[in-house]
Amino acid sequence: MNKLSQLVLGLLALLGIGSAVGKAFIWGDSVVNYGSYVPWGLWVSLYIFLVAAAAGATWFGFFLGYKNNSVRWIKLGYSSAAISLIGALAFIALDLGKPMKGISIFFSPSFESPLAWASWGYALFIIAVAFMIFKGVSSLRSPLVYVGLALSVLFLGAETLFFGDMIARPLWNSWGSALAFVTSAIVAGGALIYGAAALCAPDLLQQAGNGLRKSLLYAMVLHLVVEVGHLALETNLPEAMAQMTDWKFWVLFVGIGGVGAIILLTKPATALYGALLSLFGVLVYKVTFVTAAFTQPDLAGLPEAFQDYRLSLSYSPSILEWLVAVGLLATVILAISWLIPKVLVDHTKGSTKSNRSVNV
């Protein structure tokens, strides 16, 4: 990453963090556009997107590590996942009216709630990765490797159950949504680990050859089939039709995501753009997945009975929501570009300079 890119990302990160602090401790919910009928919006979408990317990056890191007999893939995947999870927790904390109240789930958890299991999974996974980074992991058979893998399955599974158990949201309360959570995690995680490798360790991509690109291509095609098929089978649900008739679903998710999958078949130098487009497509899918569920009133006629700007079924993110979203995503990218090379430095040693010159 050149200095100009770092500067732009740094400025976006500072702007986003400043806006987040202002929302959390000064302005509150007066600067966001979600309300009583649409309580979740862009930030919750980014939360579940980053959680999915974290789980998938862990799986790809584990798979590629064993396939290539390389601890570096394990460290790359797990570290990228931990950074992604921290970004996800930042988004969901901001979505709360009182961000610090979220910590209470660790002091008085109800383990009958999937969200409690997910929260403990996040925390324990980040702790496990911290041990991997600071104590060092030199063997693929390290218990921490398997602990991290198990925790990634735990927190994604708990997150899936949390949404799937919402009977009041029939779009989410279906097997199709649960399956799409898994396929979207594979795509997002594969794209994240591809981008992290291209940014921090291009030699790993050469080691993986075409296998990673083909796996990511197949995953994106599978996810497109699963999600479009899911909505096609749920046309009786107004919420499903709302997602299916959303131009963002077809243009940005199916269209751009599909183009990204095709680009993955090209040369390695351009395949990175395909991975990034696939990642963007999954992000848009998560946004349409969240917002479509709130397009129908809980009670018929309720929006007409009470008139207020907070009592509306239409939702568009405010300027501050966009600033925070772009800024925190820029922070995640900067954190990956800064931390991953340090995690891998013990194993790259003298080859670090040559790695930077490899054309991805």
The C-alpha atoms of residue 33 and residue 21 are separated, in whole angstroms, by 17
Report, as an integer, the average pLDDT of 106-134: 89
Question: What's the pLDDT tens digit per position in 283-319?
Answer: 999 999 999 999 887 777 666 666 666 677 888 999 9
pLDDT at 139: 81
What pairs with residue 82 in β-bridges? none
Alpha-helical segments (H) within the chain: 3-22, 42-67, 71-95, 104-107, 114-135, 143-164, 175-200, 202-208, 211-233, 238-244, 247-248, 256-263, 268-292, 302-305, 319-348, 352-356
pLDDT at 303: 66
CATH number attached to the domain at 20-352: 1.20.1630.10
pLDDT at 349: 44
pLDDT band at 86 (very low <50, low <70, confident <90, very high): very high
pLDDT at 211: 86
Question: What's the pLDDT tens digit per position in 129-143?
Answer: 999 888 878 788 889
Give domain limits for the chain: 20-352
Q: Which of 134-143, 174-183, 342-351 has the lowest mean pLDDT?
A: 342-351
Nearest CA to 275 out of 253, 251, 259 is that of 259
Report, as an integer, the average pLDDT of 22-45: 88
Higher-pLDDT residue of 176 and 353 is: 176
- 282 contacts: CB under 8 Å, gap ≥ 6: 49, 52, 53, 184, 187, 188, 191, 223, 253, 257
pLDDT at 268: 76
How far does Cα 146 stand from its chain's mean position?
Answer: 22
Higher-pLDDT residue of 140 and 247 is: 247
The C-alpha atoms of residue 169 and residue 71 are separated, in whole angstroms, by 42
State the Cα angle at 246 between 227 and 226, rounded to 5°.
5
pTM: 0.91
